Amino acid sequence: MSLSAKSSPPPAPPIKDGGGVDSPPVGGGRGVDPLLVGEVRGVLAGNVDDGGGVVVALSGGMDSVSLLDATVAAVAGVGGDGVDGDGDRWRLSVCHVNHGLSPRADAWERFCRRLCEKRGIPLTVAKAPPAPPSAGEDWARRQRLRAFAELPQSPAILAAHHAGDQAETVLFRLLRGAGVWGMSAMRPVAPLPFFNDDGDGGDGGVRRPPPMILRPWLNIPRERIAAYARARRLRWVEDEDNFNIVRRRNFLRRRVFPLAAGGGFDCAETLPLAARRFADGADLLAALARADEAAAAAQTADGMRGFRAGYFLAAGASRTRNWLHDSLWRRGGGFSERGIAEAARQILNAAAKTGGKNAPSLRLAFGAATLREWRGLLFWDDERPPPADFERALTVSARGRRLDFADELGGALVFSPRRGRGFSPAKTGARLSLRLRRGGESLRPRNRPRRALAYLLRENGVAPWRRARLPLVFAGDALVAVPGVAVAGDYAAGAEETGLECRFEWAQPRC
């Protein structure tokens, strides 16, 4: 995403309004709907700490402009009873994504800039990359998710989805063959879905927990939002594509739903109700998945947390798929039923073939998260590459030391004084350094022949994908110690000497 702008101005968007006011006064008795404002305040109070950041996703359309207006009232503590609050409870800002798909995209952006400027609200505008020829609704959605995921400090994202949007989502997913998880559709509160570049869900490289997306109006009919916009005399832009039935959601909204209404079916009421019932089922499946995860949990000698692949082999394909669904949902993943089924098949195949091999037999990438099988265990990893040219001067004392490398290497290096163990500071001298593997390193432990570093790491069960991030202790060009693995005999502490034992404590992956 970038903040660039095109050189020539596009045609102005059609402006719709309920009275022509960009920034109506916030206060009781001026059309503030107590239900709509109360729903916003309730979801913020339940999910965002006081003083926390809240970002309204603003397209410029009626729904998002109304949500921004109601959020201003909710943040200020204004309700339908006409009583003003004591001040802003949360830090409010706005994000607009310019997809570049419409010739009016830049005009919509200008409308949002003007609206936020008049209201005095900070605005972030994210410019999508050039759209491929096949770009459509799914591509645009992924660009919005990328923009929201890249906002600093993982704020809560407020989206203006309403009951009509939920109805479209339910029917759309049903027609695409979704299961219980998919049919639960949009949740009022959920981690922001990540995505990967192939469009199958996941993440485009973001390495931190996803922000939460909050949908306070998910059970509100659009007609009530429209009435609010008119009562508040708001102005908004109209997207001409809302009337293009070539787009699949528009086809459902403008052709299928009216046809169903002619037969007496109120899709905007019944389909969101079905989604809530599917959500109950998905919650029960989530509880089963977490019980399976607890039962399958295991830990390696160096503290690496994993799950026994054999447990899922015994549990079967359905529960393995269910565990994957829940695990990915908690990590912000959004993956197809087909992708989940294929991943579960590979997990079970790997579990059936596991024979204590030293190399990983399975690697499944889900955006920022990667699931690996190694020595009969499944591990989540965040695919963090080792930093280039990592080298740090090292000073240690007899009292020990802890060095935090969570961001660079994914853990902390700990030096602890131990009698007769570790390396001797008297033998190494003061000029120590930390480096990563460069290839060709070897070490001769005390009373053992010299071994290649690769052999020692494999022998001691260091996971292959972590070996490149394990810091090594050097004295000049001599390898002194491999944390948690071995100490060179020439530098080992004597039996009556207090040495420094070093180990690397791996943090749990951030995915």
pTM for this predicted structure = 0.73
Phi, psi of 352 (to 5 degrees): -70, -30
% of residues, the chain, pLDDT over 90: 49
Residue 475 and residue 428 in contact, taking contact as beta carbons nearer than 8 Å:
yes
The 10s digit of each residue's pLDDT in 93-121 is 999 999 888 888 899 999 999 999 999 99
Residue 126 and residue 97 in contact, taking contact as beta carbons nearer than 8 Å:
yes
> What pLDDT is stored for residue 123 in this prediction?
95
CA angle 170, 175, 180 (to 5 degrees): 55
Topology classification of domain 15-161+215-265: Rossmann fold (3.40.50)
> What pLDDT is stored for residue 81 in this prediction?
43
The 10s digit of each residue's pLDDT in 451-474 is 999 999 988 888 888 899 999 999
> What pLDDT is stored for residue 292 in this prediction?
98
* CATH 3.40.50.620 domain range(s) in the chain: 15-161+215-265
pLDDT surpasses 80 at 379: yes
The 10s digit of each residue's pLDDT in 147-168 is 888 888 767 999 999 999 999 9
pLDDT surpasses 60 at 6: no
Identify residue 165 by its one-letter amino acid code: D
Split at pLDDT 50, 70, 90, the class of 241 is low
Average pLDDT over residues 211-226: 94
Of residues 102 and 223, more confidence is placed in 223
- As to burial, measured by CB atoms within 10 angstroms (0-12 exposed, 13-18 middle, 19+ buried), residue 431 is exposed
% of residues, the chain, pLDDT over 70: 84
Average pLDDT over residues 220-227: 94
The 10s digit of each residue's pLDDT in 51-85 is 899 999 999 999 999 999 999 999 988 654 434 44
> What pLDDT is stored for residue 21 in this prediction?
54
Mean pLDDT of all residues belonging to the chain: 84
pLDDT surpasses 60 at 357: no
CA atoms of 388 and 55, how far apart (whole Å): 35
